[in-house]
């Protein structure tokens, strides 16, 4: 998927099919609820790095909470928009265009990392490089918080890497110690009707039903299953 084109407001081909996506499903105009929960529980310590910051809402939320935040994305358009949002709201966030597999241009010294639905966009090989690069820019004992779609999401769109529990634990275990891994809900910005209109037919399995892994929040927004992982830098 061409994320930069999507952030520019263009329609993009979805999942290598003829399905066109012309909306950003993860647009909440606010932080992901699980991220708010983590902050409320005191699970971030600055400086904080956000990986794949996209629309910037999580990074801006953490900055509002008083954290020193650096946030990167591979999409230049997203970073340009995020910088404008920060300026408009009088918040200081260091938004950077960077490659997740190298983190070139990002200085070290982080005590917390947030990855809200970025890591599952990587291949297995890229994920190893990414986790190695994160290890290099984090202090000993730093906490890594990850929200990552599980392999069962394949019915919605093919993931480039394996995101079953064993594969994720294997790759994280090279440099990080996993101390929490559980299934939670990732909130999208779409209602059930909007989801059905925007997504390919295979996505119908993620509409709420007795045998579906999906749900809705109190605002009617569709929620998808996601791994919530916390790991400590070795």
pLDDT of the chain along its 234 residues, tens only?
778 888 888 877 755 556 667 778 899 999 999 999 999 999 999 999 999 999 999 999 999 999 999 999 999 999 999 999 999 999 999 999 999 999 999 999 999 999 999 999 999 999 999 999 999 999 999 999 999 999 887 766 667 888 999 999 999 999 999 999 999 999 999 888 887 776 666 666 566 554 555 688 889 898 989 999 999 999
Residue 135 tokens read as 């290890």
Q: In this structure, is residue 206 part of a structural domain?
A: no
Number of domains in the chain: 1
Q: In this structure, is residue 46 part of a structural domain?
A: yes
Query: Torsions phi, psi of 196, nearest 5?
Result: -60, -35
The DSSP annotation for 148-166 comes to E--GGGGGTS--SS--SHH
Q: In this structure, is residue 12 part of a structural domain?
A: no
Kindly report the length of the chain: 234
Burial of 167 (0-12, 13-18, 19+ CB in 10 A): middle
In this structure, what CATH number is given to the domain that contains residue 108?
Answer: 3.40.50.150
- 11 in Cβ contact with 22 (< 8 Å): yes
Which uninterrupted H or E stretch holds 185? strand 176-187
Q: In this structure, is residue 47 part of a structural domain?
A: yes
48-58: burial string, b at 16+ Cβ within 10 Å, e else: bbbbbbbbbbb
Residue 118 tokens read as 């970025």
Q: In this structure, is residue 204 part of a structural domain?
A: no
- 145 in Cβ contact with 185 (< 8 Å): no
Q: In this structure, is residue 192 part of a structural domain?
A: yes
What is the rounded CA–CA span in Å between residue 9 and residue 92?
Answer: 26
What is the rounded CA–CA span in Å between residue 117 and residue 109?
Answer: 23
The 8-class DSSP code of residue 41 comes to: T
Q: In this structure, is residue 21 part of a structural domain?
A: no
pLDDT of residue 1: 74
- 103 in Cβ contact with 45 (< 8 Å): no
Query: Torsions phi, psi of 110, nearest 5?
Result: -85, 145
For residue 81, the enclosing domain spans 30-196+211-233
Number of Cβ atoms within 10 Å of the Cβ of 23: 16
- 106 in Cβ contact with 137 (< 8 Å): yes
Q: In this structure, is residue 121 part of a structural domain?
A: yes
């Amino acid at each position: 998927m061409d994320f930069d084109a999507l952030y520019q407001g263009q329609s993009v081909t979805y999942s290598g099919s003829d399905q066109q996506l012309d909306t950003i499903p993860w647009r909440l105009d606010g932080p992901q609820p699980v991220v708010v929960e983590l902050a409320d529980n005191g699970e971030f310590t600055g400086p904080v790095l956000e990986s794949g910051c996209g629309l910037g809402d999580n990074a801006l939320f953490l900055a509002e909470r008083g954290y020193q935040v650096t946030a990167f994305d591979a999409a230049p358009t997203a970073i340009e928009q995020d910088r404008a949002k920060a300026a408009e709201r009088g918040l200081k966030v260091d938004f950077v265009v960077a490659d997740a597999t190298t983190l070139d241009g990002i200085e070290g010294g982080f005590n917390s990392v947030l990855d809200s639905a970025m890591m599952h966009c990587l291949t297995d090989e890229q994920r190893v490089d990414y986790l190695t690069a994160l290890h290099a820019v984090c202090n000993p004992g730093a906490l890594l918080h990850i929200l990552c779609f599980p392999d069962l999401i394949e019915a919605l769109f093919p993931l480039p890497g394996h995101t079953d529990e064993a594969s994720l634990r294997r790759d994280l275990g090279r440099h990080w110690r996993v101390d929490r891994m559980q299934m939670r809900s990732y909130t999208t910005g779409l209602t059930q009707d909007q989801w059905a209109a925007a997504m390919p037919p295979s996505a119908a399995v993620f509409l709420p039903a007795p045998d579906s892994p999906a749900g809705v929040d109190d605002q009617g927004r569709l929620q998808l299953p996601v791994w919530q992982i916390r790991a400590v830098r070795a």
